Structure 1
Amino acid sequence: MQITRQPPVKHTLEPSNHPYLSGPWTPLQEEVDVDELEVIEGILPDDIDGIYLRNTENQVHQPLGRHHPFDGDSMIHQVSISGGKASYRNRYVRTHCFEEEQIMGRSLWGGLMDPKGTADRPGFGAHGRLKDTGSTDIIVHAGTALATLYQCGEAWQLDPETLDNLGKAPWGPLDGISAHPKVDEKTGELMFFNYSTHAPYMHYGVVDRTGTLSHYVPIPLPGPRLPHDMAITPNWSILNDMPLFWDEDLLKRDIHAARMHEGVPTRFALIPRHGQPEDIRWFEAEPTFVLHWTNAWEESDEVVLEGYHQTNPMPEPLENMGEHGHMMAYVDEHSFESRLHRWRFNLKTGETTEERLDDRIVEFGMINPDYLGQKSRYVWSTTTRPGWFLFNGYIRHDTETGASQEYALPEGVYASESPMIPRKGGSAEDEGYLVTFLIDENTGTSQCAILDASDITKGPICRLALPHKLCSGTHSTWVERSQLDADKAVRRQQAAA
């Protein structure tokens, strides 16, 4: 394992016993390149050919106010796999905010736990005073990796192969974009949304295969909302208006405090992919909040949507956690009780029907990406350690039969969001692999692990040693090398035109 270390960044973070600045959430502050990772268990399958990217929060400077795990600076970790070998590298995302704090040598913005904001200068996102870290989501569109913030910052571009920072996406609208844009590889289009505290409160857009904003329309809402994710089918994009949003009276005093609004239903906006506001079909459902959808598809006269329904979106503070009790509950799936759920929207009658698909507490699910927007059968969800935002295992759901498989990681070992990699030449939907990063608090190390997606009960079939212990984080993605090659061909055609 040959390690090349990058020049260090300035950092002022002090050692802390904060639950999300220590243990598996201890920030990592070095950037390295490793030419070939050592296989420490099993055999790395030689039919995997692509790149795994994971976005993590790594606080660089001492926080100005109370720290929230989603405040940290974005660091992207990459494992590139081909021909039975793997390499690794990691890089901070050099947002404007990251660069300004590097110049000043300290934090300039507060975080999510400060309702009125604590900042030395104007902030960003729907909240208005936050730091644009780009530390929530990571996807690849048109050959470029995009790191995005859940509260609507810029889309920060990186080369998925080198992790070179490429600046902000030139097509980004004034109100930014939310995390969780969706890419349809069949058309090469990226669908996104944003939200804000000024009318019309939400927009929806489409970016084409060449990286050009081709469609951008308002989605009028009754007031400021806090949507987190969207879904797509070949003909529809699905947005939402849920009853968990900022308290309107407090917002008038510039205090951003979310609450559930009694008597307000969940609403879904189905808009044709290139539709106008007047084309939106609105559907109502039982009140809830949903962080993440797994898939959506069209079935006869219905549009079907699957995701994680929350039974208790505003949980009580966790006990014995002192000042951290509220924050700990809000990121604890066992507190807000997220379960796999299905909604059906009948385009003829305008009715919505719902059903629970699994009673276990799960979230952060993945599907076979070849089935995005198409009817799918399998979902690979993560389980979490109660009281914490830490993934400690997996459940493989068969949503057709109700059967499932489960795998629990050893105590003190935590996973990352784990994309499904379809097996080349495979015919079954569940034929392939899961790829993940593991943080082992028992040994103070991290590994890249591969699981058999058709039988997760076996646990990792291969583990590769990483050069340092990672900090935990949120989202990840997998991109096939063949897709990157196709995107390069499109760019060459553009350049020659």
Structure 2
Amino acid sequence: MTIDIVNTLTSDLEPGDHPYLQGAWTPLLEEVNATDLKVLEGTIPLDIDGVYLRNTENPVLQAKGKYHPFDGDGMLHMAAFKNGKVSYRNRFIQTKGLQAELEAGRALWAGLMEDPALSERAGWGAHGSLKDSSSTDVVVHAGRALTTFYQCGEGYRVDPMNLTHEGIPPWSPLDGISAHCKVDESNGELLFFNYSKHAPYMHYGVVDKHDKLVHYVPIPLPGPRLPHDMAYTENYAILNDFPLYWDPELLKQGKHVVRFFKDTPSRIAIIPRRGQPQDIVWFEAAPTFVLHWLNAYEEGDEIVLDGYFQDNPMPRNYEGAPAGYERMMSYLDQKKMGCHLHRWRFNLKTGKTTEKRLDERILEFGMFNQRYATKPYRYAYSAVQVPGWFLFHGYVKHDLQTGDSWEIRLPEGQYASEAPFAPRVNAKDEDDGYLVSFITNEKTQRSEIILIDSKKFEAGPVCRIELPHKLCSGTHACWASGADLESGGLLSGQPRSS
């Protein structure tokens, strides 16, 4: 392996007993370029061509009070596959917040668990006092990677091949861009939403394949809400109003305390992709909160939507957590929240909603073959959480037509990343491809890349590839094929020199 250390940031972090500043969540401070990565097991297939991008939370400076893992500075990791070879590099996302704090030499903004009054400067997004770390999500649109923050930020564009910082999109609206904007590979459109504490509380927009904002409309809500994801079909965008949001009375006092209003139904908004507010059709469903959707498609008069239903969106404090972190760890525990694969059907003719659970296991962070977005798809891939922790140690593949499923688990002490589906070059059918994931191995104190052949799912990784350092964990990832990058104006293959 050839490693070029590009930069190492200076940190004043004091991890102490914080559960999310150690182990698989140990911050990484170096930026590297690496080629000729060592294959630890198996052989890198010749029929995978593209880029795996993974966003992570990597705090650089000591928090003002109690650190929450979602406060961490964004770091993007890239693995490029071509002709049976793979190269890697990582970079901090050069947000305005990180640059300001590095210049000051200290944290300037309070985090999610801290008093907003501790922020020394105005913040970003719906909360208003948080730093936009752009550390939640990443997609590739119009040939560029776009990183986003879950409470809405400006969004940052990065060259997906060499991770060069390219700034904020010129179309970024005043209320920002939430994480989980969607890229429709069939036409190159980017669909996005944002939310805020001022009326109308949500907006929905479309950016075309030429990177032009072509549609932006309000989605009026009764008050401030905390949506996290959206979905789309061939003709519609799907947004939501779930009964988990900041307590309105406490919010008047400047306190951001989340409550679950269990007697209030969930509401799902279905709007034509270029529709106006008057075109919205609202459906009611069982009270819950959905962190992530899977796919959605139209079937006759119905819209079918798959995602992860939470039985208990507001769990009790985590027992056994270090003092002061009980609530934080509860809200990071999918088992306590009771996350299950679920299907909703919305009948546009009758206005009726029907629902059913698809699996009794605790599952979340689902992926599917993006070439089958908006279509009646067959296969879904969900992550299996380590009980009590925001970590994954396995995957489940579902056949949604037959009801069959297959599960694989990683060896003890190994933790996975969100694993997008990478179609095989010249793929013949829907599950003809690989799951791609970074793995952190606590026994070796290193990280790896693994590929899982979806056709031979239970056989486990077809190869394991060593990375030059141990990654800090995080949230979301995506895959962009070499052909798509070429059509977006980028060269396919190994990263360009910076």
TM-score (norm 2): 0.97
Q: For 1:456-495, what per-residue CA distance to the aligned partner results, in whole angstroms no more than 9, with x for missing partners?
A: 21111101000000000000000001101111189xxxxx
Cα separation, 1, equivalents of 2:117 and 2:349: 46
- Corresponding letter in the other structure for 2:35: D
SS of equivalent to 1:31: strand
SS of equivalent to 1:317: coil
Contact 2:185 2:370 in 1 (8 A): no
Contact 1:36 1:88 in 2 (8 A): no
Q: For 1:12-65, what per-residue CA distance to the aligned partner results, in whole angstroms no more than 9, with x for missing partners?
A: 212433110000000000000002211110000001000000000001000111
Equivalent residue number for residue 199 of structure 2? 199
Q: For 1:319-378, what per-residue CA distance to the aligned partner results, in whole angstroms no more than 9, with x for missing partners?
A: 121211110010110010100000000010000000100010000010011101111111
Identify unmatched segments of 5+ residues in structure 2: 492-498
Matches within 5 A, 1:107-118: 107-114=107-114, 116-118=116-118
Equivalent residue number for residue 453 of structure 2? 452
Matches within 5 A, 1:375-394: 375-394=376-395
Cα separation, 1, equivalents of 2:117 and 2:192: 26
Contact 2:7 2:32 in 1 (8 A): no
Runs (4+) of structure 1 exceeding 4 A deviation are none
Equivalent residue number for residue 208 of structure 2? 208
Establish whether residue 165 from structure 1 lines up as the match of residue 154 from structure 2.
Answer: no
Cα separation, 2, equivalents of 1:467 and 1:263: 50
Contact 2:68 2:113 in 1 (8 A): yes
Equivalent residue number for residue 136 of structure 1? 136
Equivalent residue number for residue 288 of structure 2? 288
- Corresponding letter in the other structure for 1:327: M
Matches within 5 A, 1:44-83: 44-83=44-83
SS of equivalent to 1:103: helix
Per the TM alignment, residue 187 of structure 1 is displaced from its structure 2 partner at its CA by 1.2
Cα separation, 2, equivalents of 1:262 and 1:444: 43
Cα separation, 2, equivalents of 1:108 and 1:272: 41
Per the TM alignment, residue 422 of structure 1 is displaced from its structure 2 partner at its CA by 1.4
Cα separation, 2, equivalents of 1:292 and 1:414: 20
Per the TM alignment, residue 114 of structure 1 is displaced from its structure 2 partner at its CA by 2.0
- Corresponding letter in the other structure for 1:247: D
TM-score (norm 1): 0.97
Cα separation, 2, equivalents of 1:67 and 1:117: 15
- Corresponding letter in the other structure for 2:385: T
Cα separation, 2, equivalents of 1:26 and 1:429: 37
Per the TM alignment, residue 210 of structure 1 is displaced from its structure 2 partner at its CA by 1.2
- Corresponding letter in the other structure for 1:129: S
Equivalent residue number for residue 444 of structure 2? 443
Contact 1:311 1:336 in 2 (8 A): yes
Establish whether residue 92 from structure 1 lines up as the match of residue 92 from structure 2.
Answer: yes
Matches within 5 A, 1:93-492: 93-114=93-114, 116-321=116-321, 322-488=323-489
SS of equivalent to 1:264: coil
Cα separation, 2, equivalents of 1:433 and 1:489: 23
- Corresponding letter in the other structure for 1:166: E
SS of equivalent to 1:46: coil
Cα separation, 1, equivalents of 2:51 and 2:262: 44
- Corresponding letter in the other structure for 2:336: S
Contact 1:9 1:102 in 2 (8 A): no
With 320-329 and 40-49 compared, the bigger mean Cα shift is at 320-329
Aligned Cα root-mean-square deviation (Å): 1.1
Per the TM alignment, residue 8 of structure 1 is displaced from its structure 2 partner at its CA by 2.3
Cα separation, 2, equivalents of 1:431 and 1:262: 42
- Corresponding letter in the other structure for 2:111: G
- Corresponding letter in the other structure for 1:26: T
SS of equivalent to 1:102: helix
SS of equivalent to 1:454: helix
Contact 2:110 2:116 in 1 (8 A): no
Contact 1:111 1:117 in 2 (8 A): no
CA 293–115 in structure 1, closer or farther in 2 if over 3 Å, else same: farther
Cα separation, 2, equivalents of 1:445 and 1:8: 18
CA 115–307 in structure 1, closer or farther in 2 if over 3 Å, else same: farther
Per the TM alignment, residue 85 of structure 1 is displaced from its structure 2 partner at its CA by 0.1
Per the TM alignment, residue 428 of structure 1 is displaced from its structure 2 partner at its CA by 2.5
Per the TM alignment, residue 445 of structure 1 is displaced from its structure 2 partner at its CA by 0.7
Contact 1:10 1:105 in 2 (8 A): no
Cα separation, 2, equivalents of 1:485 and 1:408: 35
Cα separation, 1, equivalents of 2:278 and 2:311: 32
Contact 2:297 2:304 in 1 (8 A): yes
- Corresponding letter in the other structure for 1:119: S
Cα separation, 1, equivalents of 2:47 and 2:136: 30
Per the TM alignment, residue 169 of structure 1 is displaced from its structure 2 partner at its CA by 1.1
SS of equivalent to 1:278: helix
Cα separation, 2, equivalents of 1:354 and 1:456: 29
Q: For 1:443-463, what per-residue CA distance to the aligned partner results, in whole angstroms no more than 9, with x for missing partners?
A: 101001101112321111101
Contact 2:196 2:224 in 1 (8 A): yes
Equivalent residue number for residue 495 of structure 1? none
SS of equivalent to 1:488: coil
Contact 1:55 1:137 in 2 (8 A): yes
Alignment coverage as a number of residue pairs: 490
- Corresponding letter in the other structure for 1:447: E
Q: For 1:197-223, what per-residue CA distance to the aligned partner results, in whole angstroms no more than 9, with x for missing partners?
A: 000000000001111111000000000
Contact 1:117 1:130 in 2 (8 A): no
With 319-328 and 142-151 compared, the bigger mean Cα shift is at 319-328
Per the TM alignment, residue 115 of structure 1 is displaced from its structure 2 partner at its CA by 5.1
- Corresponding letter in the other structure for 1:154: E
SS of equivalent to 1:13: coil
Per the TM alignment, residue 262 of structure 1 is displaced from its structure 2 partner at its CA by 3.3
Q: For 1:421-456, what per-residue CA distance to the aligned partner results, in whole angstroms no more than 9, with x for missing partners?
A: 112233221121000000000110100110111232
Contact 1:109 1:129 in 2 (8 A): yes
Cα separation, 1, equivalents of 2:480 and 2:177: 21
The percentage of counterpart residues that share the same residue type is: 56
Equivalent residue number for residue 10 of structure 2? 10
Q: For 1:295-323, what per-residue CA distance to the aligned partner results, in whole angstroms no more than 9, with x for missing partners?
A: 00000110100000000000001112121
SS of equivalent to 2:489: helix
Contact 2:270 2:280 in 1 (8 A): yes
Equivalent residue number for residue 494 of structure 1? none
